[in-house]
Amino acid sequence: MRDPTLDLKVIHLVRDPRAVASSRIKSRHGLIRESLQVVRSRDPRIHRMPFLDAGHKLGGKKEGGGGSDYHALGAMEVICSSMAKTLQTALHPPDWLQGNYMAVRYEDLVVEPIKTLRQVYGFVNLAVSPDMEKFALNMTSGPGYSSKPFVVSARNATQALSAWRTALSYQQIKQVEEYCHQPMALLGYERVGSPEEVKDLSRTLLRKPQL
């Protein structure tokens, strides 16, 4: 970033942590080892945030997930702690980062693909080609939402954004919010207040981000 011969810019793609948690749980078998590694990488000197329901492993046998769901949610504490530090640096950037950092929300990309794509390309002083705009529209206006992990395909943006609201239990959602409230606040992801609020898909949980 400090090298005068380089014009390096950082584009930080972010997503609602609750959707990230849902994706990790859906991909539980492919990510179980990675989730364990993330949890074990946590600094032991830092007090570990307890589960909201201390007597029950969230996503346990009752919900079909077993320990893999438990570790997937546990990994979110480490992931969100790291993200919070990154976002704080971006919010109060040192000289070498000023004007060279851009946060892009996945939700903005799928809801307003052309507008967001043009902002990203403008940030790096490039023009968006018609083919790229067509590709972005196709990828966010596809026929459905893939049930398979790691599959990149055209999908319905509305379904993709709201999938976590039906896939996660209310207890799982509140656990992720407990772990991730700091980056969520900076990025404009509203917390939910009740199970009914989660299921009301007509209510957006997005507001203007601080970055």
C-alpha 167/C-alpha 107 separation (Å) is 17
C-alpha 41/C-alpha 33 separation (Å) is 12
What is the model's pLDDT at position 45? 61
Q: Is the dihedral of CA 103, 189, 161, 71 positive or negative?
A: positive
List pLDDT tens digits, range 106-164.
999 988 999 999 999 999 999 999 999 988 888 887 665 555 555 555 666 667 788 99
**Which ranges of the chain does DSSP label H, i.e. alpha helix?**
17-26, 28-40, 66-91, 106-111, 113-123, 130-140, 157-167, 170-187, 195-199
Per-residue pLDDT of the chain in tens (211 residues, 90 and over written 9):
889 899 899 999 999 999 999 988 877 655 655 665 666 666 666 655 556 554 445 444 444 444 557 777 888 988 999 999 999 999 999 999 999 999 999 999 988 999 999 999 999 999 999 999 988 888 887 665 555 555 555 666 667 788 999 999 999 999 999 999 999 999 999 999 999 999 999 999 999 999 8
Q: Which domains does the chain have, with CATH numbers?
A: 13-44+64-199 (3.40.50.300)
